[in-house]
């Protein structure tokens, strides 16, 4: 009986102590608000040692700044100083942590600026979010995600040491960089430079030259009215129609290029390659995968360590370099050529003991074929009197040389 009686206050004490542990630690809050009358075209400048930033654009010719601070006590709150200054149509805000307690203050900046205004903002750590705006936007954070809406009549520069980056449509040039995180961009009218140390990259459309680089992740680029250069240490690549040259490289993954009005150079350490069209030469190389090249208007060089190759030369101007060099370590080769092309053909296929069947060389053009039913079949000849060299080589695969239908 005595044991049961003693258990009740003990249980009550334990319950109360658990309740105390569950209660949040006491904190102090401070809100500072400043408003500045400005005209469109000015710049809002923010430099803070840390803190998140949120910017909203509005129709008023005013800049409104709200700073929210939170800390364990008033002494710590006081150690994070925020200073304001206006010079003409420009507004300057500076946030500085003074003393050891200043860095233990949670800071949030909520800003409203005119629709036509420029932004220049930097924080030592925290996310940055920007509404649709017309003007130049430059943002930098040492750690946190960045999200920017549509930007009219201006350029965008966004950099974070770690976090994802999202940007809408941009009327000007774009430069974004993150040390780790995915990147997604809308339509850019100017040049684009996009880099991440790890994450996927998506650009909806490029208005001028575009470059994209990731240390690990897929890359997807829409149509581009200029040159395209992309590189990933691991992931697939898909590029829309480009008006300039295309250069794509991945250490592992497939590559697809819808088309280019210029030269195409693509390389993967493992994956298939597809090129829909080109206005110039095509160079394609994969350590393992099939290659398909259509509507090429320049010379073709393609190599795979294992897979079939299909290539289509449509250039009918014999003054243009139309040489073709296709090689596969294991797979069929099919080459389509115009009826009036001038070329000198040399084709060879080897058949190993492990081959599943006999393989042949087939040609719509008159060639001398030797070695049928042997372990090495060759074909040589001149088309329309001879011209640029065509070399085709494979192992354990048929070779087809076909005439394009007019």
CA 387 to chain centroid, in Å, comes to 41
Residues 111 and 142 both lie in one domain: no
Residues 54 and 107 both lie in one domain: yes
What DSSP state is assigned to residue 115?
Answer: S
C-alpha span between 286 and 71 (Å, rounded): 57
C-alpha span between 367 and 343 (Å, rounded): 11
C-alpha span between 94 and 46 (Å, rounded): 6
Tell me the pLDDT band of 25, cut-offs 50, 70 and 90: low
Q: What is the mean pLDDT of residues 111-139?
A: 98
Domain span at residue 179?
A: 131-217
What DSSP state is assigned to residue 27?
Answer: -
Short-list 205, 167, 206, CA closest to 190: 206
C-alpha span between 192 and 190 (Å, rounded): 7
Residue at 137 is within a domain? yes
DSSP string, 198-267: SS-EEEEEESS-EEEEESSS-EEE--BSS-EEEEESSS-EEEEEESS-EEEEESSS-EEEEEESS-EEEE
* Predicted confidence (pLDDT) per residue in 243-297, tens digit: 999 999 999 999 999 999 999 999 999 999 999 999 999 999 999 999 999 999 9
Tell me the pLDDT band of 185, cut-offs 50, 70 and 90: very high
Residue at 226 is within a domain? no
C-alpha span between 258 and 262 (Å, rounded): 12
Pairing label, strands 43-48, 137-141: unpaired
* pLDDT of the residue at 358: 84
* pLDDT of the residue at 109: 98
Q: Could you tell me which residues are beta bridge partners of residue 147?
A: 129, 166
* Predicted confidence (pLDDT) per residue in 152-184, tens digit: 999 999 999 999 999 999 999 999 999 999 999
Residue at 275 is within a domain? no
Residue at 396 is within a domain? no
Residue at 146 is within a domain? yes
Q: Is residue 103 within 8 Å of residue 125, measured between CB atoms? A: no
Residues 36 and 115 both lie in one domain: yes
Short-list 316, 253, 320, 327, CA closest to 283: 327
**Structural domain ending residue among the three candidates 100, 126, 152:** 126
C-alpha span between 263 and 367 (Å, rounded): 30
DSSP string, 306-372: SS-EEEEE----TTS---EEEEESSS-EEEEE-TT--EEEEEEEE--TT-SS---EEESS--EEE-T
**Structural domain ending residue among the three candidates 217, 238, 253:** 217
**Averaged pLDDT score across all residues of the chain:** 93
* pLDDT of the residue at 13: 43
Tell me the pLDDT band of 12, cut-offs 50, 70 and 90: very low
pLDDT beyond 60 at 22: no
C-alpha span between 119 and 358 (Å, rounded): 69
* pLDDT of the residue at 42: 98
C-alpha span between 391 and 251 (Å, rounded): 27
* Percent of all residues in the chain with a pLDDT value above 90, rounded to a whole number: 88
Residues 116 and 149 both lie in one domain: no
Residues 141 and 119 both lie in one domain: no
Residues 91 and 172 both lie in one domain: no
Tell me the pLDDT band of 352, cut-offs 50, 70 and 90: confident
**Structural domain ending residue among the three candidates 89, 104, 126:** 126
Residues 114 and 172 both lie in one domain: no
Element at 6 (helix H, strand E)? helix 2-22
pLDDT beyond 50 at 20: no
C-alpha span between 300 and 60 (Å, rounded): 59
What DSSP state is assigned to residue 321?
Answer: -
Residues 148 and 183 both lie in one domain: yes
Q: What is the 3-state secondary structure (H, E, C) of 264-296?
A: EEEEECCCCEEECCECCCEEEEECCCCEEEEEE
pLDDT beyond 80 at 2: no
What is each CA distance from 101 to 79, 97, 173, 318, in whole angstroms? 6, 8, 40, 77
Residues 47 and 96 both lie in one domain: yes
CB neighbours of residue 354 within 10 Å: 6
Residue at 195 is within a domain? yes
* Predicted confidence (pLDDT) per residue in 48-106, tens digit: 999 999 999 999 999 999 999 999 999 989 999 999 999 999 999 999 998 776 678 99
CB neighbours of residue 138 within 10 Å: 18
Assign 11 to helix, strand or coil.
helix
* pLDDT of the residue at 9: 47
The number of folded domains in the chain is 2
CB neighbours of residue 320 within 10 Å: 13
pTM to 2 decimal places:
0.91
* pLDDT of the residue at 103: 78
Residues 174 and 112 both lie in one domain: no
* Predicted confidence (pLDDT) per residue in 311-324, tens digit: 999 999 999 999 99
Residues 110 and 146 both lie in one domain: no
* Percent of all residues in the chain with a pLDDT value above 70, rounded to a whole number: 93
Q: Is residue 399 within 8 Å of residue 392, measured between CB atoms? A: yes
pLDDT beyond 60 at 3: no
* pLDDT of the residue at 333: 98
Residue at 367 is within a domain? no
Q: What are phi and psi of 12, to 5 degrees?
A: -65, -40
Give the largest Cα separation in the chain, rounded: 116
C-alpha span between 83 and 96 (Å, rounded): 8
- When computed from its CA atoms, the radius of gyration of the chain, rounded to whole angstroms, is 32
pLDDT beyond 90 at 15: no
Residues 149 and 68 both lie in one domain: no
Q: How far apart are the first and last CA of the chain?
A: 106
Residue at 39 is within a domain? yes
* pLDDT of the residue at 99: 78
């Amino acid at each position: 009986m005595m044991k049961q009686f003693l258990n009740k206050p003990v249980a009550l004490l334990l319950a109360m102590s658990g309740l105390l542990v569950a209660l949040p630690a006491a904190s102090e809050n401070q809100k500072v608000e400043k408003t500045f009358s400005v005209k469109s075209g000015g710049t809002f400048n923010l430099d803070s040692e840390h803190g998140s930033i949120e910017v909203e654009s509005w129709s008023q010719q005013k800049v409104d700044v709200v700073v929210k601070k939170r800390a364990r006590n008033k002494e710590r709150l006081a150690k994070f100083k925020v200073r304001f200054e206006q010079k003409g149509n420009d507004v300057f805000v500076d946030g500085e942590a003074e003393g050891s307690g200043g860095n233990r203050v949670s800071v949030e900046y909520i800003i409203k600026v005119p629709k036509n205004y420029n932004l220049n903002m930097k924080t030592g750590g925290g996310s940055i979010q920007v509404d649709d705006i017309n003007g130049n936007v430059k943002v930098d954070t040492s750690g946190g995600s960045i999200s920017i809406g549509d930007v009219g009549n201006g350029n965008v520069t966004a950099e974070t040491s770690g976090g994802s980056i999202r940007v809408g449509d941009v009327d000007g040039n774009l430069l974004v960089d993150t040390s780790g995180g995915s990147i997604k961009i809308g339509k850019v009218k100017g040049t684009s430079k996009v880099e991440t140390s790890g994450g996927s990259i998506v650009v909806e459309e490029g208005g001028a030259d575009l470059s994209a680089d990731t240390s690990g992740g897929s890359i997807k680029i829409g149509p581009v009215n200029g040159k395209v250069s992309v590189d990933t240490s691991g992931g697939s690549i898909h590029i829309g129609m480009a008006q300039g040259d295309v250069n794509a490289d991945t250490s592992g993954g497939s590559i697809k290029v819808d088309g280019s009005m210029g030269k195409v150079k693509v390389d993967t350490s493992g994956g298939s390659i597809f090129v829909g069209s080109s206005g110039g030469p095509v160079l394609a190389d994969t350590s393992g995968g099939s290659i398909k090249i259509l509507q090429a208007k320049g010379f073709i060089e393609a190599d795979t360590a294992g897979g079939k190759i299909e290539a289509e030369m449509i250039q009918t101007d014999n003054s243009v370099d139309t040489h073709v060099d296709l090689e596969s370590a294991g797979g069929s080769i099919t080459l389509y050529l115009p009826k009036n092309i001038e070329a000198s053909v040399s084709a060879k296929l080897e058949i190993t003991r492990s081959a599943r069947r006999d393989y042949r060389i087939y040609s719509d053009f008159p060639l001398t074929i030797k070695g049928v039913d042997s372990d090495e079949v060759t074909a040589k000849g001149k088309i329309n009197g001879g011209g640029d060299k065509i070399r085709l080589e494979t192992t354990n695969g048929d070779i087809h040389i076909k005439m394009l239908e007019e």
